[in-house]
């Protein structure tokens, strides 16, 4: 009797299966599983999987395990994966406007970073659309500060230091401060610092904490230079095939993830700075001299960005300044 019932259930299930299209979406992430961006993406994935009743089931792959950070955007564009997360500013070589969130000292608080992202969003969406990508949501990193393995009180102290960069803006910062940039993904930095390939970086307390950089570095200077963002994008052809009903569910999950991600970023800021200090690092504000010098360099970088980002870039900055 039981067997018969089970067999009937199997028969029914197999009859009804073809009618219910089920898709599995692999979602590559570049950062460690314990980082709040990755945790947030996992919650987003669960929201979509539950919300669509399993019709679209998303599986996250953190830590660069499916694709490394530098390959994720192309993988989504070309349909190797339907969805993924990427630090868009690392693609400023494709369109300078992608680095709007790396203009030094433009937006230095979470509130300002959100306002700037809101203003830039239509432009970013348009550029992404031309690349077969649809933006779902973006989440900020905490404010960017400077890491060293020695005390640094002025730009002169940075001369010749090997500097880990994560995009062209950070590489340019290294050049303008006399350092030697080498591009390394976050997933690889613990090793880079341990082996001496790099001995400095600009990043958040979050990334230093995630990668336990106190094992190699000694100082974190709060600079609040900018708050770069991770963007979650879906392949536009895949998106076009999603039913209107599921699109609404995914967009709802994306809006919730944007809000939750922001809250997580804010909470993670102090938590990770405390964690760096607990690991033995000197954590504190940069000296007045260093801040002044960095602001001068920041002006140069902002002017350079405006030159390459053209009218679209200028319009974003003007709208932001007008609102602030």
Residues that bind ligand PCA (CB under 6 A): 87, 141, 166, 186, 203-204, 206-207, 228
Q: Which helix (H) or strand (E) holds 284?
A: strand 282-285
Please state, in angstroms and rounded to a whole number, the distance separating the CA atoms of residues 76 and 202. 27
Q: How far is the CB of 5 from ligand PCA (least distance, A)?
A: 54
Contacts of 18 (CB under 8 A, 6+ apart): none
Contacts of 122 (CB under 8 A, 6+ apart): none
Q: What phi and psi values does residue 52 have, to the nearest 5 degrees?
A: -90, 10
- Please measure the distance between the N-terminal and C-terminal CA atoms of the chain and give it in whole angstroms: 72
Please state, in angstroms and rounded to a whole number, the distance separating the CA atoms of residues 139 and 263. 10
Q: How far is the CB of 145 from ligand PCA (least distance, A)?
A: 9
Pairing of strands 219-222, 145-148: antiparallel
The single residue listed with the structure tokens 């690991």 is 279
Q: How far is the CB of 79 from ligand PCA (least distance, A)?
A: 26
Residue nearer to ligand PCA on the CB measure, 82 or 185: 185
Q: How far is the CB of 37 from ligand PCA (least distance, A)?
A: 9
Q: Tokens representing 298?
A: 């920041």
Q: Nearest to ligand PCA by Cβ — which residue?
A: 204
Q: How far is the CB of 185 from ligand PCA (least distance, A)?
A: 7
Residue nearer to ligand PCA on the CB measure, 23 or 188: 188
Q: How far is the CB of 103 from ligand PCA (least distance, A)?
A: 14
Q: How far is the CB of 35 from ligand PCA (least distance, A)?
A: 9
Residue nearer to ligand PCA on the CB measure, 158 or 206: 206
Residue nearer to ligand PCA on the CB measure, 49 or 269: 269
Residue nearer to ligand PCA on the CB measure, 186 or 276: 186
Cβ burial, residue 77 (10 Å; 0-12/13-18/19+): middle
Please state, in angstroms and rounded to a whole number, the distance separating the CA atoms of residues 135 and 233. 5
Q: Do 267 and 142 meet the contact criterion of CB atoms below 8 Å apart? A: no
Please state, in angstroms and rounded to a whole number, the distance separating the CA atoms of residues 132 and 134. 7
Q: Do 136 and 233 meet the contact criterion of CB atoms below 8 Å apart? A: yes
């Amino acid at each position: 009797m039981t067997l018969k019932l089970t067999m009937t259930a199997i028969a029914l299930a197999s009859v009804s299966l073809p009618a219910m299209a089920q898709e599995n979406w692999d979602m590559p992430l570049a950062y460690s599983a314990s980082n709040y961006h990755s945790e947030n993406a996992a919650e987003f994935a669960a929201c979509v999987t539950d919300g669509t009743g399993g019709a679209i089931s998303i599986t996250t792959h953190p830590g660069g395990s499916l694709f490394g950070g530098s390959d994720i955007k192309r993988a989504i564009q070309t349909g190797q994966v339907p969805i993924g997360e990427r630090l868009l500013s690392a693609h400023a070589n494709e369109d300078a406007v992608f680095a709007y969130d790396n203009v030094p000292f433009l937006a230095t608080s979470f509130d300002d970073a959100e306002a700037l992202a809101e203003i830039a969003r239509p432009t970013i969406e348009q550029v992404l659309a031309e690349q077969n990508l649809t933006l779902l949501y973006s989440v900020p990193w905490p404010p960017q500060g400077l890491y060293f393995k020695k005390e640094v009180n002025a730009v002169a102290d940075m001369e010749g230091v090997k500097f880990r960069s994560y995009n062209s803006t950070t590489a340019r910062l290294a050049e303008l401060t006399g350092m030697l940039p080498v591009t390394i993904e976050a997933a690889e930095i613990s090793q880079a610092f341990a082996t001496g390939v790099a001995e400095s970086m600009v990043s958040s307390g979050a990334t230093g904490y995630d990668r336990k950089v106190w094992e190699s570095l000694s100082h974190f200077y709060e600079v609040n230079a900018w708050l770069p963002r991770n963007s979650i994008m879906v392949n536009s052809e895949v998106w076009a095939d999603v039913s209107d009903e599921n699109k609404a569910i995914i967009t709802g999950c994306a809006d919730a993830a944007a809000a939750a991600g922001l809250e997580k970023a804010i909470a993670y800021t102090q938590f990770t700075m405390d964690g760096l200090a607990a690991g033995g690092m000197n954590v504190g504000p940069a000296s007045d001299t260093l801040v002044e010098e960095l602001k001068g360099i920041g002006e140069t970088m902002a002017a350079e960005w405006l030159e390459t980002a053209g009218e679209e870039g200028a319009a974003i900055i003007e709208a932001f300044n007008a609102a602030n």
